[in-house]
Amino acid sequence: MSEVTRVTPDPDRNLALELVRATEAAAINCSRLMGFGDKNAVDGAAVDAMRPVLGSVRMNGVVVIGEGEKDEAPMLFNGERVGDGSGPEWDIAVDPVDGTTLTAKSLPDAVSVLGVSPRGTMFSPGPAVYMQKLVVPGYVADQVDLDAPLADTLARIAKTTDRSVSELTVAVLDRPRHEQLVAEIRQAGARIRFLLDGDVAGAIMAVTPGTGVDMLVGIGGTPEGVLGACALKCLGGELVGRLIARDETEKRAILDAGFDLDRVLTTEDLVAGDNVFFAATGVTDGALLKGVRFEARRIITHSLSMRSRSGTVRLIEGRHDPERSFLVNH
């Protein structure tokens, strides 16, 4: 007689799918303002829709990465409690729209994202707004050095995947500060995918087959680095980075807060533990996810739902009835 597999009850098993409801709501609401040119209105619409859905989720969450301090953001601010208050505590990282400008201008790759990990396991960046980042797939994670020439890192990826460097694509935020970095990539012979905004999606692309991106490099937001690390914990990729000060005043604030500007941070430093959840819903069309579609009597969303403990990654197409769905009436 064959053995029957015993399934152990898992009280957290539905959390990953519950979080998708929040990103779907934010994506639907803010996408109604796509192309209107007002990024602040886009952000406000996403926050307004996400907050009530998060409040209904069975969890006891604390926002670690959010919309800023309480006096600047009325909802989803750092330190705010979210969820219905039941069960163990969780750290929450949230960006209702990673790419407000992208949405306002009808440009690709805007997403609504949300990461969750057990309380006390998520890195809080304090005054450190920016960080240097290098994101690579897991199969070369132990071979990369943040300070090594990019040509060396690209050569390792090419060798591991049996390709030439000229067949690799590097994602980089399109910013003046990356002029030298872009020159190095071109000199090495790799292709470049410029990101107009939103490097959370770029980090996920770098470790997801089929997106056409093999690596992400450059200086981007530290909160986005933590959110990206939540996804990488689930996908098996690696982020290595270092906090960056923009000026002497910010440097002093970072040092006074107890951070080490020389320390190389890893994915594990940004999000520790093995029970991390991540959800994302496309707002505008991109290489990672399709954007929100408004059709006759239904709204279509495309989302990712991930959990690090199981390694499960779900691609979810949501079909919402505008007359009945709780998500589309907020």
Residue indicated by tokens 């790799």: 190
Contact 215, 172 (CB under 8 A): no
Torsion of CA 254, 77, 278, 90, to 10 degrees: 90
b/e 143-152 (16+ beta carbons within 10 angstroms → b): ebebeeebee
Three-point CA angle 286, 291, 293, nearest 5°: 150
The annotation status of 224 as a binding-site residue, yes or no, is yes
The annotation status of 69 as a binding-site residue, yes or no, is no
Q: Hey, which residues does 268 pair with through a beta bridge?
A: none
The annotation status of 179 as a binding-site residue, yes or no, is no
The annotation status of 274 as a binding-site residue, yes or no, is no
User: What distance in Å separates the CA atoms of residue 225 and residue 216, rounded to the nearest whole number?
Assistant: 11
The annotation status of 152 as a binding-site residue, yes or no, is no
The annotation status of 85 as a binding-site residue, yes or no, is no
The annotation status of 98 as a binding-site residue, yes or no, is yes
The annotation status of 12 as a binding-site residue, yes or no, is no
Strand arrangement of the beta sheet that strand 215-221 belongs to: 191-195, 169-173, 215-221, 130-136, 238-244, 265-266
The annotation status of 214 as a binding-site residue, yes or no, is no
The annotation status of 24 as a binding-site residue, yes or no, is no
The annotation status of 67 as a binding-site residue, yes or no, is yes
The annotation status of 198 as a binding-site residue, yes or no, is yes
The annotation status of 139 as a binding-site residue, yes or no, is no
Binding region for substrate: 98-100, 130, 175-177, 197-199, 221
Binding region for Mn(2+): 43, 67, 95, 98, 224
Binding region: 43, 67, 95, 98-100, 130, 175-177, 197-199, 221, 224
